[in-house]
Structure 1
Amino acid sequence: MSSDRLPEMTQAQRDRLAFVELRLRFVGEIRRQDLVTRFGIQAAAATRDIAQYKELAPGNMEYDTKGKVYVRAAWFRPLFDFPAERILTWLSQGYGDGEPIRWKGVVAQEGTSLPGKIDLDLLSVLTRAIHQGAAVEVAYRALSSGLTTREIVPFALADSGLRWHVRAFDRRSGEFRDFVLGRLDAARILPGPVADHEKPDQDIQWNRITELELVPHPANVQHPDTIEAEYGMDGGVLKVRTRAAMAGYLLRRWNVDCTEDHSLKGGEHHLWLRNRQALYGVTNLVLAPGYSESSK
């Protein structure tokens, strides 16, 4: 049964049922208290919601008597049709849980993003593994090696501004790396515990926070006050704190000139990185415009 064939109910009821499904599909479990906390309803109402969802989708959940929690069943088939963008927003920002409805915008708007393929079933394997602290076997398409099978230990999703990645320990290389979600071909959760060195607290690049000082480009910007106003700079500088693992993506997305002498030419370079020393030890600087290891 798809969401357009659900029985008549209020939008609030549909939102709560959609939330039940989101938790089951992407976290792997749902508790009555999750509904109580999210929607501010009474426990009895939450019990009715779970019972109603189970009636509509009898093969989607089972009750774990030991853990006292409803868990995703092996024969799970979603009722609701969520676009990938909505799912990723919910997973990363935790709002907008309800069923997606395509409202007409109040003003005209268009986007310029390229279409990307994200398989929600594969995504749900990753998110459930993150919740469980488990390893995953994936079939992954890399630019350097093509389609390979590898084992990873995922722990976070990351948005580069252009596409989504999963941050994970890669058992083949023995390193923490980013894997593009659209390049996954298959995924399954692996049994057994993960080693201490595979856990997120061992990811130095992820846990290190660096502060970047961005200023109007000294050579390419004729009126620096324009850039200062556009970015809400304070005293002519915009200070941005980011994880070291994300620094290269940020600098590339905003075309920040990372040369020591602000020498990159072109109208796209409105910003210059004033404190290059902040990038010392950051590993993904191949993405940073103009950054050179020999000139750091």
Structure 2
Amino acid sequence: MTTSPIASSSPAEPASLPTSIRQRLMHIERCLFWKGEVQRADLIDTFEITTVQAAKDFRLYMDSFPGNMAYNQSRRRYIPQGRFTPALIRPDTLDEFADMPSAQVPVARWPLPLRRASPEVLLVMVEGVRDRRMIEVQYQSMTGQAPEWRWLSPHAFASDAERWHVRAFCHKRQEFRDFVLGRILSTRDVDATDIDPAGDTEWNTFVDVLVTPNPRLEAEQRQAIGAEYQLPEDLELTLKLRKSMLFYVNAKFEPATTEDPAAHQLFVAALKESE
């Protein structure tokens, strides 16, 4: 008896298939989960494959995961069966599906402008980090009246989940700082640098941050927040992060001046440097 190459697959242990095939099988599963149906056109249009290849992919999926989907003759598409259980994807956030059009599942997003850097700036900054160079950049600081030119020696990138920063030595301020990539308007000269990233103490120091539901909330509310963020039973989660990122964690979780504890559901309860 021949065993399917992905019959024992699980989200934690992806099947040992070529990446292209595995991606198409995962897309089949996303459509089943999100749209409640999948057609050959979903694969053909997304991956630019032939109808023959799409048919083979559907057969492989059904053979590998019997009971997950079947072809519906009247609707002329594949639909999930009553025992459908995702085997290749881990659907724990809507981010993976929100861009997939579905007439049955409406989605709305905040109409906020995206924070992006220009491709030209990104190219120069990435090369600067990779090749250990210092770069003259035109930067729009929040404290200055107009953009100004300054030399940076970048050595790393960091995200606060809302925007990307470049960690760099500022030759004007003579210290390591964070610079928002989207505020670098342009670049000019590039030169060698003798700045050693090892000297960036805040970047190279790790801290343990204890995050917990606001104790001013009612017990039931604290439990609800714990479930939402998948906190341990004691409702305390320790995050290990670089010390330079602590500012952004505090800005997100630290309670502001307000009498309503529900306005700040999580906050930093304790902090210590990691060993």
Relative to the length of structure 2, the TM-score reads 0.56
Aligned to 1:161: 161
The equivalent residue for 1:191 is 191
Shift of 1:138: 0.5
**1:184-217 C-alpha deviation (Å, 9 max, x unpaired):** 121145223x22xx22211111111111111121
Cα separation, 2, equivalents of 1:221 and 1:271: 13
Rounded Cα–Cα distance in structure 2 between residues aligned with 1:213 and 1:137: 38
Q: Distance in 1 between matches of 2:259 and 2:237?
A: 19
Show the 5 A alignment for 1:144-159.
144-145=143-144, 146-159=146-159
Secondary structure of 1:158 counterpart: strand
The residue that corresponds to 2:230 in the other structure is 232
Q: 3-state SS of the aligned residue for 1:191?
A: strand
Report the identity percentage.
26
Indicate whether 1:271 and 2:242 are aligned. no
Between the aligned partners of 1:119 and 1:214, the Cα distance in structure 2 is 35
Residue 267 of structure 1 aligns to a residue whose secondary structure is: helix
Tell me the equivalent position of 2:91. Answer: none
Deviations 1:42-97 (A, max 9, x none): xxxxxxxxxxxxxxxxxxxxxxxxxxxxxxxxxxxxxxxxxxxxxxxxxxxxxxxx
- For 1:243 and 1:208, the matched residues in 2 are separated by 6
8 Å contact from structure 1 (residues 129, 189) kept in 2 = no
Q: Cα RMSD (Å) of the superposition?
A: 2.7
Structure 2 match to 1:256: 254
CA distance, structure 1, for counterparts of residue 133 and residue 259 of structure 2: 44
Deviations 1:114-147 (A, max 9, x none): 3234211111000011110111010111122221
Q: CA deviation at 1:111?
A: 3.4
**Contact in 1 for aligned 2:216/2:261 (Cα 8 Å):** no
- Higher Cα Rg, which structure: 2
Aligned-pair distance for 1:110? 3.8
Distance 1:151 1:248 in 2: 24
Letter of the 1:237 counterpart: E
Which runs of 5 or more structure 1 residues have no equivalent in the other structure?
1-11, 13-102, 280-296
Q: Is the 8 A contact 2:214 2:261 kept in 1?
A: no
Whole-Å Cα distance in 2 between the matches of residues 264 and 163 of structure 1? 29
Q: Say how many residue pairs are matched.
A: 171
Q: Does 1:214 align with 2:211?
A: yes
Instruction: Specify the alignment match of 1:170 in structure 2.
Output: 170
Matches within 5 A, 1:60-139: 104-105=100-101, 108-112=106-110, 113-139=112-138
Q: 1 CA distance for matches of 2:174 and 2:263?
A: 37
CA–CA distance in structure 2, aligned partners of residues 244 and 119 of structure 1: 28
Paired letter, 2:167: R
